[in-house]
Chain A
Amino acid sequence: MRKRGFIILIGVLSSLAVWAEARFPKPDFTSGYQYPVILHGAPNEMFWNVVDIVMLIGMMSLVVWGAYRKRSRAVIYSLSVVSVLYFGFFRSGCVCSVGSIQNVVLSLVSPDYHLPWYVLLVFLLPILFALLFGRVFCAGVCPLGALQELVNIRNFRLARSVSVALSVIPWIYLAFTILYAATRSQFLICRLDPFVGIFRLGGDMGMITFGIGLLLMSVFIGRPFCRFLCPYGALLSVFSSLSWKKLEITPRGCINCALCGMSCPVDAIRSPQSSRTGEERRKGVNRIILFAALLPLLTMAGAFLVGGQSDALSLAHKDVYLYELLLQQQARPDMEVPLEVETFNALGGNIEELKARVDEVRLDYRFYTRLAGALIGFIIGFKLLKLSLKRSRKTYEVSSAHCTMCGRCFSYCPQNINIKKHEKTIS
């Protein structure tokens, strides 16, 4: 059944032909030809926005039903196919909850930016579901995660210590996303979305190639983008760890067979563990005290170090970039005039006005780079602190923060198999 769905997906993928808009300069007419003004009809988006929200709520509810009631991967897998087709190929991967972080940040810092209601809902609903049931959005609703899930064939697990260390990256990505959105520089997530080019069958070839590379990686490693890059996944992991309901692999008691842990592609199932280790208790306590004391220091160090790069980072803002190009052009008159500078001059740009804008942008950058640096420093400190804590477990448990609810473990659990056999017998 799964394979059939997969083959259907391949068919759909190969039959879709979407032409990307070519960006290329118009011919140099010198005959006085006037280009006609291009008019775009106002899109009738409201209907589809409502459909998006309904689909989002409906699919997340179905994931909850499939994971908590049915304990069925088939439900989640089917939803993944629907998500890739609808949110991915049909809706072209936009607006997605991952990217909505930027809109929300921009609306918080910019009073003149109006945040559309559906973008707010796209951002908030997965968080709400995470607070109630865990990362149900990641399971089969997010088209980015779903696409990786569909191509995941065979898992070769990374050493857990490596994957834990790599899990800091999404937070760094999140910090820079906030920085660039708050300073109105660019929407980093949209720019670096590796799968949107595949969904649209067009766009930046570099990003498409990167997306294909990630997909190839996903064949053997469970959801590399979700685990090591996705900034929204990082946010959801926090809310998910505080969720009201926690996912259980089986309603019957765990028999510690370890099959679920081995089946999990994202290392979200924790094995039974004793809190007693070979290490002296005092040494462990000292370490916890040390990392707790280091936490504010690391936060400040992060703020200092990233804040120190504010001028360099501000080059991501188009005004700053243009201003620097103008300076370079003035310092090196022999260099070829960059297109941006040529355009600025042709449009009668005023350098003083530009400089005033650049000063404002740099001021913003000074604040937000410190904020971003503080966030990164705090996350690193917090992770170190968390890695110093010992916990005992008697059975295999699901880590709510990391579980993407793919549902693989359900079918591996012998207890669940027994339940199904029992139900079959009764029926």
Chain B
Amino acid sequence: MRKLYRNTAIVTAVFVLALASMLGVSYYQMQHVSPLESEVMETLKALNESNDENQKLQQQIRQLDLLSRKAYFVQEGQLKTGIYLLVGMVTVLVACLALYYKDTKNLPEKELDPIDEWMTKSHARKYLSWAAGAAALVGIAVFIFQSVGTKALTAQSDDVEDKSEMPQEGTEAVQDSLQEIALAQADSLKAASKREQSGNFSSYAEQKQARPKVKADSTIIVKIDSAKVVETDTAVVAEELPELKIASKAFRGNNSSGTSSARGIATSWNLKSKKNILWQSTVPKHGYNSPVITGHNVFITGADEQARELYCFDVWTGELKWTVKADGISGSPSSMPKVNDDTGLAASTVATNGSEVAAIFATGDVICANMDGKRLWAKNIGLPDNHYGYASSLLMFGNILIIQYQNNSDARILALNTKNGNQIWSKATKDKIAWSSPIIAKLGGKSTLVVMGNPAIAAYNPGDGAELWRVDCMSGEVGSSPASADGLVFGASEYATCIAIDGATGETLWEASDYLPECSSLAATKDFVFCATSYGMVCAYDAKTGEVKKEHDLTTPFYSSPVVVDGKVYLFSNSGKVYIFKSSTFDLITSFETGEKTFATPAFTDGMMIVRTDESLYCVKREK
């Protein structure tokens, strides 16, 4: 009989171990499964948002939702049954062991401990000392590691504050969110009366508190057409509108990074039905430049044979607040340079630092205004010898205005003081003509100016223009701009290459040539480099290896650049079709036509997106 108990106990023990292992794996899987957030479900929901009339689709979503829930609960039920079974088998095991050892005295066969208790104590002392010492060492290591990390972070933050005050000496700039806060704080102290700000946190509560005063229980929906405020069902007090905390201070966002901290951006809208459209305004003069946002203001430029103008629109209403003309500038050409229709006279996007906003035109005219529309200074930096037309966008680093002025006869990088237009530094480069725009990247812990031209991608100290490294890798007509993430710099241009460079050393990490952009710029995360081509292919390169991780043949050209925002990648085709991808997988979430040709890259702020089309400027905001 004892043999039976023993054998049963052995079999049960094996069973218990196997079952426990399986349950462990199943439990782990359950912990990482969220059936309602599956890729298919998200895609279908996004599709539904763009077309909420499709009842068949809604029916599908409901069925899939039900199935997902059922599958989840079935698995949970199995896990629960497994646990009960395990408890039962453990009980059987214990019972068998109890019966097997029945009538057996509980005496060990031999004494494990040394007979000498003092030796036992000595060993225990030793083990305890070792364990305590090891724990202390780990604790010290963690403490030192954390201290070093905190000091580095504090140093960066201090640098940013210093540079925002005295950029002419500076080397650091606003690159990440922390720096954005610091600069925003410094700016707000300097120009408290001005309606400008850029910050980090987008607090919905703050916005709510500052929202326009409305009648009780009414909903705020403001729809604007052609720069006119139309109140739908509530009275809006425009002057009480809240400051926006997320800025987009240059082409493709702050620092021209191609990313934004904005949240809650709508994934569907309709310009005809005005669904999720806060306002739509016409723009006085044409231009291919992209919108820039700070505080309440949206800036763009427009130009024709008659005039070159900087416009400021109200971000909440779309109302044209003021216009600053680039006229009466010494050295400005009397007749407009010959430019390509695809480029125009106002292809360069403006840049702002929250206090000043600067614009450049194909004539070489640079103007700078404050937030109230007062022109602070203007100068001509020389007529660009450019067969398509000057197109590089501006960038501000604190109070330094950076101009990538690379033309046929003159290639240099200029740094002007935003307060008075005086030159801070000028760096002549050996590059040929390019239409690319500069970016500020965080490399090796420092904010670095990265410029992509022909033939080099080069890094500079934005404070004094000193060259840090230079990689000759480009050729042809470089119109795309670089991107940076996780300490790496990425650049790509059609007929050249797509390259990843170690930002700290300038060492080339990988090159690829699967898909290359013509005008559209790259956007990067730590995992992917997103690329949109002018022949309709879009892809995500692996940021570490350069391998194409995902590609989509969308059969429509792209000049606009992708922007990573709120876990998604927003991309406009030239025809005005919007594509929204999941940034973690580059899976297409949704796509739809807007009906207006779009070449500019949208700008993002708290819950809003400003899009410039060939015909108008509009604001997308999710309706509550």
Interface, chain A (partner B; CB < 8 A): 3, 6-7, 10, 13-14, 20, 22, 24-25, 27-28, 151, 153-162, 164-165, 168, 198, 201-202, 205-206, 208-209, 212-213, 215-216, 219, 259, 262-263, 265, 270-271, 273, 277-279, 298, 301, 305-306, 308-309, 311-312, 326-327, 329-337, 345-346, 348-353, 380, 383-384, 387-388, 390, 408, 412
Instruction: Say how far B576's CB is from chain A's closest CB, in angstroms.
Output: 24
Question: Given the complex, which residues of A lie within 8 Å of B567, measured CB to CB?
Answer: 333-337
Instruction: Say how far A109's CB is from chain B's closest CB, in angstroms.
Output: 25
Question: Given the complex, which residues of A lie within 8 Å of B86, measured CB to CB?
Answer: 209, 212
Question: Given the complex, which residues of B lie within 8 Å of A346, measured CB to CB?
Answer: 204
Q: Which residue of A lies closest to B113 (CB)?
A: A160
Q: Which of B97-120 contact A (CB under 8 A)?
A: 97-99, 101-102, 104-108, 111-113, 116-118, 120
Question: Given the complex, which residues of B lie within 8 Å of A351, measured CB to CB?
Answer: 201, 203, 205-206
Whether B127 and A14, one on each chain, are in contact in the complex, defined by CB atoms closer than 8 angstroms, is no
A209–B564 CA distance with the chains assembled, in angstroms: 42
Interface, chain B (partner A; CB < 8 A): 16, 20, 23-24, 27, 30-31, 36, 65, 69, 72-73, 76, 79-80, 83-84, 86-88, 90-91, 93-95, 97-99, 101-102, 104-108, 111-113, 116-118, 120-129, 131-132, 135-136, 139-140, 142-143, 146, 176-178, 200-201, 203-206, 208, 259-264, 525-526, 564-567, 583-584
Given known pairs A209-B27, A212-B87, the reply for A154 and B101 (CB within 8 Å) is: yes
The 8 closest A-B pairs by CB, nearest first: A161-B123, A305-B139, A350-B205, A164-B124, A165-B127, A161-B124, A308-B143, A277-B118
- 14 chain-A/chain-B pairs, Cβ below 8 angstroms: A27-B65, A28-B65, A153-B94, A154-B101, A155-B106, A161-B124, A161-B126, A201-B87, A219-B93, A333-B260, A334-B584, A336-B567, A349-B204, A384-B129
A384–B23 CA distance with the chains assembled, in angstroms: 41
A326–B205 CA distance with the chains assembled, in angstroms: 14
Whether B112 and A159, one on each chain, are in contact in the complex, defined by CB atoms closer than 8 angstroms, is yes
Contact partner, B128, options A165, A262, A311, Cβ 8 Å:
A165
Whether A262 and B108, one on each chain, are in contact in the complex, defined by CB atoms closer than 8 angstroms, is yes
Beyond A6-B98, A162-B127, list 4 extra A-B contacts (CB 8 Å): A212-B20, A273-B118, A334-B259, A387-B125
A308–B204 CA distance with the chains assembled, in angstroms: 34
A388–B129 CA distance with the chains assembled, in angstroms: 12
A212–B93 CA distance with the chains assembled, in angstroms: 12
Whether A259 and B146, one on each chain, are in contact in the complex, defined by CB atoms closer than 8 angstroms, is no
Q: Which residue of A lies closest to B259 (CB)?
A: A333
Whether A263 and B125, one on each chain, are in contact in the complex, defined by CB atoms closer than 8 angstroms, is no
A160–B128 CA distance with the chains assembled, in angstroms: 12
Given known pairs A209-B20, A383-B128, the reply for A3 and B205 (CB within 8 Å) is: no
Whether A309 and B118, one on each chain, are in contact in the complex, defined by CB atoms closer than 8 angstroms, is no
Q: Which residue of B lies closest to A393 (CB)?
A: B117
Instruction: Say how far B12's CB is from chain A's closest CB, in angstroms.
Output: 11
Question: Given the complex, which residues of A lie within 8 Å of B97, measured CB to CB?
Answer: 153-154, 219
Whether A331 and B120, one on each chain, are in contact in the complex, defined by CB atoms closer than 8 angstroms, is no
A206–B29 CA distance with the chains assembled, in angstroms: 12
Contact partner, B27, options A157, A205, A380, A384, Cβ 8 Å:
A205
Instruction: Say how far A301's CB is from chain B's closest CB, in angstroms.
Output: 7
Whether B91 and A13, one on each chain, are in contact in the complex, defined by CB atoms closer than 8 angstroms, is yes
A198–B79 CA distance with the chains assembled, in angstroms: 14
A22–B73 CA distance with the chains assembled, in angstroms: 9
Q: Which residue of B lies closest to A19 (CB)?
A: B80
Whether A205 and B121, one on each chain, are in contact in the complex, defined by CB atoms closer than 8 angstroms, is no
Whether B107 and A263, one on each chain, are in contact in the complex, defined by CB atoms closer than 8 angstroms, is yes
Whether A165 and B27, one on each chain, are in contact in the complex, defined by CB atoms closer than 8 angstroms, is no
A205–B117 CA distance with the chains assembled, in angstroms: 42
Given known pairs A380-B132, A388-B125, the reply for A14 and B91 (CB within 8 Å) is: yes
A331–B442 CA distance with the chains assembled, in angstroms: 13
Whether A348 and B584, one on each chain, are in contact in the complex, defined by CB atoms closer than 8 angstroms, is no
Whether B121 and A387, one on each chain, are in contact in the complex, defined by CB atoms closer than 8 angstroms, is yes
Contact partner, A10, options B91, B106, B583, Cβ 8 Å:
B91
Whether B127 and A333, one on each chain, are in contact in the complex, defined by CB atoms closer than 8 angstroms, is no
Instruction: Say how far A358's CB is from chain B's closest CB, in angstroms.
Output: 13
A383–B108 CA distance with the chains assembled, in angstroms: 28
Contact partner, A330, options B107, B120, B177, Cβ 8 Å:
B177
Contact partner, A206, options B27, B108, B120, B206, Cβ 8 Å:
B27
Instruction: Say how far B133's CB is from chain A's closest CB, in angstroms.
Output: 10
Q: Which residue of B lies closest to A336 (CB)?
A: B567
Contact partner, A161, options B80, B113, B566, Cβ 8 Å:
B113
A337–B202 CA distance with the chains assembled, in angstroms: 13
Instruction: Say how far A163's CB is from chain B's closest CB, in angstroms.
Output: 8
Whether B108 and A155, one on each chain, are in contact in the complex, defined by CB atoms closer than 8 angstroms, is yes
Question: Given the complex, which residues of B lie within 8 Å of A380, measured CB to CB?
Answer: 128, 132
Q: Which residue of B lies closest to A327 (CB)?
A: B177
Question: Given the complex, which residues of A lie within 8 Å of B30, measured CB to CB?
Answer: 205
A7–B92 CA distance with the chains assembled, in angstroms: 10
A28–B36 CA distance with the chains assembled, in angstroms: 10
Whether B23 and A3, one on each chain, are in contact in the complex, defined by CB atoms closer than 8 angstroms, is no
Contact partner, A153, options B20, B98, B126, B584, Cβ 8 Å:
B98
Question: Given the complex, which residues of B lie within 8 Å of A383, measured CB to CB?
Answer: 128
Question: Given the complex, which residues of A lie within 8 Å of B98, measured CB to CB?
Answer: 3, 6, 153
Instruction: Say how far B392's CB is from chain A's closest CB, in angstroms.
Output: 25
Instruction: Say how far B27's CB is from chain A's closest CB, in angstroms.
Output: 5
Question: Given the complex, which residues of A lie within 8 Å of B16, measured CB to CB?
Answer: 216
Whether B90 and A212, one on each chain, are in contact in the complex, defined by CB atoms closer than 8 angstroms, is yes
Contact partner, A350, options B80, B132, B206, Cβ 8 Å:
B206
Whether B208 and A348, one on each chain, are in contact in the complex, defined by CB atoms closer than 8 angstroms, is yes
Q: Which residue of A lies closest to B76 (CB)?
A: A22
Contact partner, A337, options B83, B91, B263, Cβ 8 Å:
B263
Whether A337 and B566, one on each chain, are in contact in the complex, defined by CB atoms closer than 8 angstroms, is yes
A201–B87 CA distance with the chains assembled, in angstroms: 9
Instruction: Say how far B463's CB is from chain A's closest CB, in angstroms.
Output: 24
A336–B564 CA distance with the chains assembled, in angstroms: 11
Contact partner, B79, options A164, A205, A350, Cβ 8 Å:
A205
Instruction: Say how far B415's CB is from chain A's closest CB, in angstroms.
Output: 28
Instruction: Say how far B402's CB is from chain A's closest CB, in angstroms.
Output: 23
Question: Given the complex, which residues of B lie within 8 Å of A298, measured CB to CB?
Answer: 132
Given known pairs A209-B27, A306-B139, A309-B143, the reply for A412 and B205 (CB within 8 Å) is: no
Question: Given the complex, which residues of B lie within 8 Å of A154, measured CB to CB?
Answer: 97, 101, 104, 106
Whether B201 and A326, one on each chain, are in contact in the complex, defined by CB atoms closer than 8 angstroms, is yes
Q: Which residue of A lies closest to B264 (CB)?
A: A345
Question: Given the complex, which residues of A lie within 8 Å of B176, measured CB to CB?
Answer: 331
Instruction: Say how far A157's CB is from chain B's closest CB, in angstroms.
Output: 6
Q: Which residue of A lies closest to B26 (CB)?
A: A205
A277–B135 CA distance with the chains assembled, in angstroms: 31
A317–B101 CA distance with the chains assembled, in angstroms: 48
A159–B398 CA distance with the chains assembled, in angstroms: 67
Question: Given the complex, which residues of B lie within 8 Å of A311, measured CB to CB?
Answer: 146
Q: Which residue of A lies closest to B258 (CB)?
A: A334
Whether B206 and A157, one on each chain, are in contact in the complex, defined by CB atoms closer than 8 angstroms, is no
Contact partner, A156, options B69, B108, B208, Cβ 8 Å:
B108
Whether B177 and A24, one on each chain, are in contact in the complex, defined by CB atoms closer than 8 angstroms, is no
A311–B88 CA distance with the chains assembled, in angstroms: 44
Given known pairs A20-B80, A337-B566, A351-B201, the reply for A216 and B90 (CB within 8 Å) is: yes
A311–B131 CA distance with the chains assembled, in angstroms: 24
Q: Which residue of B lies closest to A309 (CB)?
A: B142
